Amino acid sequence: MTTPQTTATSSAAVLVLEDGRVFRGRSYGATGTALGEAVFATGMTGYQETITDPSYARQLVVQTAPHIGNTGVNSEDAESRRIWVAGYIVRDAARRPSNWRSERSLDSELVEQGIVGIQGVDTRAITRHLRENKTMRAGIFSGDAAAAPEKELLAAVRASAPMEGARLAEEVSIDEAYVVEPSDHGWEGEPKFTIAAIDLGIKAMTPVRFAERGVRVHVLPATATLDDVKAVNPDGFFMSNGPGDPATADAQVKLLRSVLDEKLPYFGICFGNQILGRALGFGTYKLKYGHRGINQPVMDRRTGKVEITSQNHGFAVDAPMDGATVAPEERFGRVEVSHVSLNDDVVEGLACLDIPAFSVQYHPEAAAGPHDAAYLFDRFIELMAGTRDGQTANLSKEPVDAKHPAEASQNTNDNNTEDEN
């Protein structure tokens, strides 16, 4: 990588996609070369939370919001210890930040952390291209690197590692365990519960949401064993979001199966949802362009309630949608798809009916994003309380027969027509 420069002295830059499409602009942040999977994020706010989300490791993020950097960055909103995006693609970078919480510019932060970006490109065209063709490998080249022939740049992109088969959770996880105490986040009195949380790329706000509710959180590395989990004497077990292909998470799947055999209550989000799916015996697959943003509609199939959710995933669980079914790993009993995406019918949640375990594909911690799904933290607390009291583990309060809102509306109209006739 060449010497970093700020946008004030920006140089030529080029974005090269795996299929040969090229977009030219100007450097943003550090100059040099960045390779990764090009994806688009649809959030209108929360760019600092986006770039510090470990789930974006080895990805070049296209922001669909046109104006980026206008509120700067600060020391409070980062969701992890560093920026994790491999590269950053924006249309109109702010010339200077203007916000009372701003401590420095986004541009200078990108330079400081060596993140190569590009500005002044048509992000709408890039987004439509990725949506119509699929996410793909790409490269950002700026400074001296941008002067190379396009043929050479394309060859570098095609030689880079794909996301399929990528094992990244261990790369972004912590090296040593730490504890998040309820008393540090406004809780008065003794902790109600203790959980072991596996950091597969955990966002900082997730253990905080637990702590605010009186739950002590022991955050453990991605390489933690069952003995490590038992050592903290937890009331529940949690697996976080994270990057990479869930098909590579054999160690975490093995750990979760051991935890489920112990009948320890389990809650997983994002990568943790995919790992639960695999632990139950289901497969996973790569989405065409994934779900990334803070405006993703999801329906709770048991109640018909729709939530607007924050999401960041490129893989999904392949599980049957037609009600409760016995898991392929039969010892875990029945399971049902509890939540579904209203955009493309992707599985967005799993609920086990005979063991205390459930998961969702989205981010209830809402950093950034809506708070529609915050109740899931309370649901896990209720599950731990019920398990402690010897109550049933059944998470299905109603049969899974809720219809897509469009179908429900059509049925209502049909019934009204029949009544009129």
Q: Could you tell me if residue 421 is inside a domain?
A: no
Query: Is 124 found in the same domain as 248?
Result: no
Together in a domain, 215 and 364: yes
What is the number of domains present in the chain? 2
Which residues in 356-395 are b (16+ Cβ under 10 Å) and which e? bbbbbbbbbbbbbbeebbeebbebbbebbebbeeeeebeb
For residues 161 and 151, give the distance between their C-alpha atoms in angstroms, rounded to a whole number.
18
Asked whether residue 194 carries a pLDDT value surpassing 70, the answer given is yes
Q: Phi, psi (5° rounding) for residue 267?
A: -135, 130
Residue 417 is predicted with a pLDDT of 42
Asked whether residue 184 is assigned to any structural domain, the reply reads: yes
Question: Predicted confidence band at 393 (pLDDT cuts at 50, 70, 90)?
Answer: low
Quick one: pLDDT band at residue 394, thresholds 50, 70, 90? low
Weakest-pLDDT range from 104-108, 218-222, 387-391, 416-420: 416-420
The residues annotated with a catalytic role in the active site are: 270, 363, 365
pLDDT band at 389 (very low <50, low <70, confident <90, very high): confident
Closest by alpha carbon to 239, among 229, 231, 227?
A: 229
pLDDT at 286 over 60: yes
Query: What pLDDT, on a 0 to 100 scale, did the predictor assign at position 3?
Result: 37
Tokens of 385: 């309380």
Query: Which has the minimum average pLDDT: 65-74, 97-106, 201-210, 398-407?
Result: 398-407
Helix ranges, 291-404 (H): 375-388
Does residue 104 contact residue 72 with C-beta atoms inside 8 Å? yes
| Domain-embedded: residue 190 | yes
Checking if the pLDDT of 149 tops 80, the result is: yes
- Tokens 């590009």 — which residue? 118
Residue range 262-278: mean pLDDT, rounded:
98
Higher pLDDT, 287 or 400: 287
Burial class (CB in 10 A: 0-12, 13-18, 19+), 75: exposed
DSSP secondary structure letter of residue 303: T
Q: Which of these three, 133, 158, 183, is where a domain ends?
A: 158
Q: Looking at residues 72-97, what average pLDDT do you find?
A: 96
Is the pLDDT assigned to residue 8 strictly greater than 80?
A: no
Within this chain, do residues 301 and 264 fall inside the same structural domain, yes or no? yes
Q: Is the peptide bond before 161 cis (omega within 30 degrees of 0)?
A: no
**Domain span holding position 251:** 169-405
161-190: pLDDT as tens digits? 999 999 999 999 999 999 999 999 999 999
For residue 1, tell me if it sits in a domain.
no
- C-alpha span between 197 and 264 (Å, rounded): 13
- Please report the pLDDT score of residue 80 as a whole number: 96
Spatial neighbors of 84 by CB under 8 A, at least 6 apart, are: 51, 52, 53, 54, 55, 56, 57, 172, 201, 243
41, pLDDT greater than 60 = yes
Mean pLDDT of 48-72: 97
In terms of DSSP bridges, do strands 283-300 and 193-198 run parallel, antiparallel, or are they unpaired?
unpaired
Mean pLDDT of 283-307: 95
Chain mean pLDDT for the chain: 92
Return phi, psi of residue 314, to 5°. -115, 0
Percent of the chain with pLDDT over 90: 87
What's the CATH number where 102 sits? 3.50.30.20
Written as six digits, the tokens of 417 are 């027509």
Report whether pLDDT(98) > 80: yes
Residues 87, 50 within the same domain: yes
Residue 83 lies in a domain: yes
71 and 194 both lie in a single domain: no
- The mean pLDDT value for 40-48 works out to 94
Are both 299 and 390 inside the same structural domain? yes
Same domain, 215 and 116: no
| Residue 420, in any domain of the structure | no
Per-residue pLDDT at 419: 43
Six token digits for residue 274 = 């995919």
CA 290 to chain centroid, in Å, comes to 10
Residue indicated by tokens 């903290």: 232
Residues 44 and 83 in one domain: yes
Q: Are residues 300 and 176 in the same domain?
A: yes
Task: Give the mean pLDDT of 143-147.
Answer: 96
Interatomic CA distance for residues 358 and 280, integer angstroms: 11
Confirm whether 81 is domain-assigned.
yes
Is residue 335 within 8 Å of residue 305, measured between CB atoms?
no
Residues 110 and 42 in one domain: yes
Cα–Cα nearest to 312, from 116, 108, 135, 122 = 135
**Under 8 Å between Cβ of 83 and 113:** yes
Output the pLDDT for position 9. 64
DSSP labels for 27-75? EEEB-SEEEEEEEEE--SS-HHHHHT-GGGBTEEEEESSSEESTT-B-S
CA angle 43, 278, 81 (to 5 degrees): 45
Task: Please indicate, yes or no, whether residues 40 and 69 belong to a single structural domain of this protein.
Answer: yes
Q: Is residue 412 part of a domain?
A: no
CATH number, domain of 390, equals: 3.40.50.880
pLDDT at position 404 is 45
Give the C-alpha separation, 351 to 331, whole Å: 15
Convert the pLDDT of each residue in 318-355 to its tens digit. 999 999 999 999 999 999 999 999 999 999 999 999 99
Give the end of a domain, one of 130, 158, 186.
Answer: 158
Residue 322 sits at the vertex; the CA angle it makes with 312 and 353, to the nearest 5 degrees, is 80
- From first CA to last CA, the distance across the chain in angstroms is 74
Q: What is the reported pLDDT for 366?
A: 82
Give the dihedral of Cα atoms 83, 89, 91, 93; nearest 10 deg: 30
Residue 215 shares a structural domain with residue 133: no
Predicted local confidence at residue 395, as pLDDT: 59
| Domain stops at, among 126, 158, 190 | 158
**In percent, how much of the chain has pLDDT > 70?**
90
Q: Which of 118, 91, 92 is nearest to 36 (CA)?
A: 118
